[in-house]
Amino acid sequence: MLDLAGKWQPEPDWAQARLTARTIEVRAVTGVPQRLVSGEIDRFLVRYGLDRDVGALGLAIGDRYAVRVARDRLLVVGLSASDLRDGWYDEGYAISNVSSALRLFEARGEGVRDLLARATTVDHDNPGPCAAMPFAGVMGTLYRHGDARCLRIHVDRGLAAYLWEWFQCQPLFLQE
């Protein structure tokens, strides 16, 4: 049988993965709990003290926040298993742990807007309520974190190596 593994680049060591250019830095963020909440999301937000959710390119603040990925679905970041359990809740929502299903990247710096222009077709000034959108040819969840110069991107773990290679091939990083 043919061994085709040699045609693929090995996956990076995500704990150390970092790309640095003059105007931007991209790194993988590890160890961040991620949960998918489906159903009555307003009730979930109230119960866990999350005052709002953010949409496309919205600004999330702090270590615990919710990102809108569909009309009745949130990606909740920073709430651990000790904060909430997976399963169905009588308030009308379900929670699923997706930490091992998604890889989180963070891009920081003045070049974030250039990166977005290359990877998406979203209107930066009017992006919309849903943070789930195509990014560099794959579906991702995009929002800003902490300040306007920090972009977070969640993608399916199986597509993370592809996205990392896509980052490496961008002129922002090739010029250095």
Higher pLDDT, 25 or 82: 25
Q: How confident is the model at residue 77 (pLDDT cuts 50, 70, 90)?
A: very high
Let me know: does 32 contact 80? Beta carbons within 8 Å: no
pLDDT per residue as tens digits for the range 27-42: 999 999 999 999 999 9
pLDDT at 51: 84
Region 20-28: mean pLDDT is 96
Fold topology of 16-174:
Gyrase A; domain 2 (3.30.1360)
pTM: 0.92
Q: Is the pLDDT of residue 174 over 80?
A: no
Of the CA atoms within 13 Å of residue 139, those in its CB half-sphere come to 7
Question: Could you tell me which of 133, 139, 132 has the C-alpha nearest to residue 159?
Answer: 139
Whole-angstrom Cα distance, residue 63 to residue 34?
Answer: 11
Average pLDDT over residues 75-80: 94
Q: Given this model, what pLDDT does residue 4 score? A: 67
Checking if the pLDDT of 101 tops 70, the result is yes
Q: Where are the domains of the chain?
A: 16-174
DSSP assignment letter at 170: S
Q: Beta strand pairing status for 65-70 and 59-60?
A: unpaired
Q: Tell me the per-residue pLDDT of 120-168, one tens digit each, with 9 for 90 and over.
A: 998 888 888 999 999 999 999 999 999 999 999 999 999 999 999 999 9
Mean pLDDT value across residues 18-26: 95
Share of the chain above pLDDT 90, in %: 82
Angle 30-165-140 (CA atoms, 0-180°, nearest 5)?
60
- What pLDDT is attached to residue 5? 67
For 36, phi and psi rounded to 5 degrees?
-100, 130
How much is the pLDDT for 127? Answer: 86
For residue 123, what pLDDT is reported?
Answer: 86
